[in-house]
Structure 1
Amino acid sequence: MIYHHLFKQAAAKAPVRVGIIGAGAYGTAVVTQAPYTPGLEVMIVADLSATLAKGAFEKAGVDASRLVYCETVSRAEAEIEKGNRVYTDHCEIVPKLSRVDVVCESTGSPEGAANYALSAIENGKHVAMCTKDCDVAVGPMLKRLAKEKGVVYTPVDGDQHGLFIQMYEWAKVIGLEVISGGKATDGEFVYDERESTVTIKTDKHIKPPYQERVSVSANDRRYLEKIPNGGVEEYVARRAEILSGLPQPGAYDLCEMTVAANYTGLAPARDSLWHAPLRITEIPVAYCTQADGGVFKAPGAIDLATCLRTPNESGLGGGVFLVVRAENAYSNHVMATKGQIANYDDSACVLYRPYHLCGVETSVSLLAAGLLGVDTGSDDFLPRWDLIKVAAEDIAAGDIFGNDHSHQLTAKITPAKPVASANPACAHLLTGNRAKVDIPRGTVITYDMVEEPAHSTLWRLRRLQDETFGTK
């Protein structure tokens, strides 16, 4: 990275003044790391809970005497001028503050995020979008509006899709062919060979029908050994069956991959992705083209992987990966023999980053926007794909649709379609809204099945996006 050189050149603009909307785990991590980030200052934290907003500053070690609750723009401006830090439950004031350069949106609410991001853009503020639920629905439109206004709209370092987009752009810069890429799910499958069990390592609560541990029969043990040359299809299929009792990727995982696909142009090979359980050493074997022994018909695929490992093996840590090759034979030889993990014929290798630091590393995107006027995504953010939802249970008319963590719905990635009666509904245009009709289990949710909320910024932006980009 050369960010330190670039930031140093732009130091005259420092500090970058940030307003945080949403004091959950992610937004709080941005606040707590800010005191250790040269050139970055968080001026205000907003949340529907004033207690959470104040708590983010307290966790960052800000002196209690400098923390002031404000309800209005004028009062907040006055307190910041005095050198104080503001917390509030009036989120709408943040984009209107003259002493904020970058609005970091981390509410997790698609409707709220659309409102705050649009307000920030209209008020000449850069937007760092942490709420992927909004980004996947109307991100291309918000980025277009920001460009027209002369401000930045950016994904963020720390979220996996933001890191993946940067890794993909780096590979393009040095001329590599990206065969596939994606992210590792946060949970990892740890195989205890002695006990013949596989246990998921995760910080998430495990809910039925899934369980924390499954036993592996003597006949199935071989399928947890390294995939042999020519055995990808059989091993991936059997592992899916053997490990089906463990928690599987959620809609939130597919959501991030949809955002990344819209930024990069990589495409899902199938609507639910392969999301195979793989060792790091197996990624270039399985996530290659069929011609080279992998699962994909053609290069340019995006997918998920759940890291399968023994207790003594390294994991992926919820990181990101690319399977790449160099077109020049000598360059490809260099990659395959200088420490990179290659497939069996050395035609491709995996490059990976085994971590994502959530809000702790988001400061890079905030500084890039505030100091350099650039985003840490790509220029080619288009509405290529939609995340859509399928009823996982019977839904009654009047029921409220849940978010990406709800067990009421499952997700798929399909080509983007405009808002129209019989089209599959973009997933986060459903969130928090009511079913208009009874919906049987297994049904793809379409726009005519959901009650459109009145005066919705999210729905308005989505229609504008359809019109602007000619979505058909």
Structure 2
Amino acid sequence: MPPSGAPPVRYALTGARGGFGRTLLAQTRHTPRVAPDALCDLDVDGTVAMCRELGFRADDLAVCRTADEVAARPAGTVAVVPDLALLTGAGHDVLVEATGSPAAGYRAAVDALEHDRHVVMVSKEVETVVGTDLARRAADRGLGYVPGAGDQPANLVGWYARTRELGLEVVAAGKSGEYDLVLDPATGRLTHLDQQIDVADPERLLAPPEPGGVRRTLDARADAVATIRRSAAADLCEMAVVADATGLVPDVETLHYPVARVAELADVYARAQDGGVTGRTGVVDVFTVLRRPDEASFAGGVFVVVRTHDPVTWETLSGKGHVVSRDGRYACLYLPYHLMGVETPLSVLAVAERGAAAAPPGRGRHVVLAGRARTGLPAGRTLAMGGHHHDVDGVAPVLFAAAQAPDDVAPLYLAAHARLARDVPAGAPVRIGDLADPDPHLLAAWRTGATC
């Protein structure tokens, strides 16, 4: 972190035109110790227009389409480039990788590390395939490779580390889905994004589970919202990042996704023998918030559920409004927010100050984010990736503990954009051998990462 009066830490941002990129650029307009040096996006004109909306002057920006133009730009200007290769000639200290593209993000991160620049990794799609390889590369060069604060993986890894430092036993850790189920008991109308359904007996769905009745309540809620798709590849992707950083693993390959109210989480994520849903200790999961219209959202925030110890301590905390299970054996500690790029300057500063020491300790290959064919997939089909949550067409995301992963299973975002070499039956996991043309750099890095 620069001392008072020192030049700001300069960062380059890939995927600059995206939603995350805007939140970071908007925030660093107000952070004197962090400033952009270069912005990369295929949509150069759109990136410039966005920067102007955020208050950049025209002469703050230099559109550069060649390496010579990057080198010759006026001092203090922000280079706006369409090609990742042009970033190597810029003057930044830290790369913030936010393309969401496995191949492009990996290339950008490797280039940054080879030019002795730290990396803040926001692209979880990149991380789930090559994060272990990139972490090793960074460590070998004494550089920092960290997740970006403000997104759930970094927030949850930090929150988990805090609870473990306190000696608390973590039973489950996770986040809420991006969008709540908002139920108006006066009308029976339930809203999820732009989808609305009518439910019978809304007060029954909103009521807390009866003692010993957590599973019955969760089953009834799941049935009531069965027509709403609540799971997303992005959720499992984020939990894969958390798992590799912490050693936590999924309880079931599709995650539990209970529909729960925040006050119920300590009961919901209790061990199964105590009436909850978890089959083991130390799991990652995602829940869907159920709330009334006038109640605050969990906002895609993060949580850990821990075992309690001294009953008097936790009875005191329960009296202060903390979420403690009915039997007093479990408590839920949570952060009800994720602020995207608004918080990421903290990661840029931390990695610039501490380098490799800023990286989460103890990461490894603990899980495999993979995919099962939703229907039979014919040879020759390309597994297109797209949409807001970067779903892979025709493939349902699943999260395996590494020790239980099928042989030769393909990571989901290695399979993305690849063409199938052979038919894949419905329900079968997509394997590396099923892919005719996986990206060779990603494949090599995936295999290298397995030995790290």
Q: Please indicate the TM-score interval, normalised by the length of the shorter structure.
A: over 0.9
Shift of 1:175: 2.2
Q: For the Cα contact (< 8 Å) 1:336–1:348, is it kept in 2? A: no
Q: How far is 1:449 from its partner? A: 1.1
Q: Determine the C-alpha separation between the residues in 1 that align with 2:415 and 2:139.
A: 28
1:346: Cα distance to partner?
A: 1.9
Q: In the TM superposition, what whole-angstrom CA distance separates every residue of 1:24-75 from its partner, at most 9, and x where no partner exists?
A: 1112221121110120010110112212332342233111123211133343
Q: Distance in 1 between matches of 2:59 and 2:5?
A: 29
Report what 1:409 is aligned to. Answer: 395
Match of 2:447 in 1: 463
Hey, what's the Cα distance between the residues in 2 that align with 1:59 and 1:405?
30
Q: 1:156 aligns with which of 132, 145, 148?
A: 148
Which one is further off, 85-94 or 58-67? Answer: 58-67
User: Does 1:239 pair with 2:221?
Assistant: yes
Relative distance call for 1:322 and 1:155 in structure 2 (3 A) is: same
RMSD of aligned C-alpha atoms?
Answer: 2.2
- Alpha-carbon offset, residue 232 of structure 1: 1.0
Counterparts of 1:294-309 in structure 2 under 5 Å? Answer: 294-309=276-291
Aligned AA (1:175): G
Within-5 A mapping of 1:327-338: 327-338=309-320
Number of aligned residue pairs: 447
- The more displaced of 189-198 and 245-254 is 189-198
- Sequence identity of aligned pairs in percent? 29
Q: Distance in 2 between matches of 1:59 and 1:264?
A: 39
Structure 1: gaps of 5 or more residues: 1-6, 207-211
Name the residue aligned to 1:20: 13
Judged with a 3 Å threshold, the aligned counterparts in structure 2 of structure 1 residues 451 and 196 are, in CA distance, closer, same or farther, namely same
Counterparts of 1:212-291 in structure 2 under 5 Å? 212-218=195-201, 222-291=204-273
Query: Which deviations, in whole Å up to 9, do the C-alpha atoms of 1:84-128 show, x marking residues without a partner?
Result: 22101021121443x110011100100111111011111100001
Select the residue among 61, 68, 79 that pairs with 1:86. Answer: 79
In structure 2, which of residues 99, 121, 129 is the aligned counterpart of residue 129 of structure 1?
121
**Residue 3 of structure 1 aligns with which residue?**
none
Long gaps (5+) in structure 2: none
Partner of 1:443: 428
**Alpha carbons of 1:396 and 1:234: their partners in 2 closer, same or farther (altered >3 Å)?**
same
Separation (CA, whole Å) in 2 of partners of 1:250 and 1:387: 12
TM-score, normalising length: structure 2: 0.93
Alignment partner of 1:373: what SS?
helix
**Match of residue 54 from structure 1:** 48
Structure 1 residues 343 and 418: alpha-carbon distance in aligned structure 2, compared to 1, 3 A threshold: closer
Change (3 A) 1:352 1:127: same
> SS of 2:428's equivalent?
coil
Aligned-partner Cα distance in 2 for 1:459–1:95: 24
Q: CA deviation at 1:317?
A: 1.0
SS in 2 for 1:119: helix
Deviations 1:312-343 (A, max 9, x none): 22221111111123434444344333321111
Q: Evaluate the alpha carbon distance shift between residue 33 and residue 223 of structure 1 in structure 2; reply closer, same or farther with a 3 A threshold.
A: closer
Quote how far apart the aligned CAs of 1:287 are.
Answer: 0.8
1:228-263: per-residue Cα shift (whole Å, max 9, x none)?
A: 210011111222121111121111111101110111
| SS of residue paired to 1:228 | coil
Q: Does 1:77 align with 2:77?
A: no
Q: Deviations over 1:431-451 (max 9, x none)?
A: 111111233332211111111
Specify the code of the residue in structure 2 equivalent to 1:396.
P
Counterpart in the other structure of 1:120: 112
For normalisation by structure 1, the TM-score amounts to 0.89
Aligned to 2:134: 142
Aligned-partner Cα distance in 2 for 1:179–1:418: 20
Q: In 2, distance between residues paired with 1:397 and 1:59?
A: 47
Preserved CA contact (<8 Å) 1:389 1:445: yes
Query: Distance between the aligned counterparts of 2:161 and 2:272, measured in 1?
Result: 25
Once the two structures are TM-superposed, the CA of residue 419 in structure 1 deviates from its matched residue by 11
Q: Structure 2 vs 1, CA of residues 325 and 331 (structure 1 numbering), >3 Å: closer, same or farther?
A: farther
The whole-number CA distance in structure 2 between the counterparts of 1:315 and 1:377 is 30
The equivalent residue for 2:417 is 432
Flag the 1:325–1:377 CA change in 2: closer, same or farther, 3 A.
farther
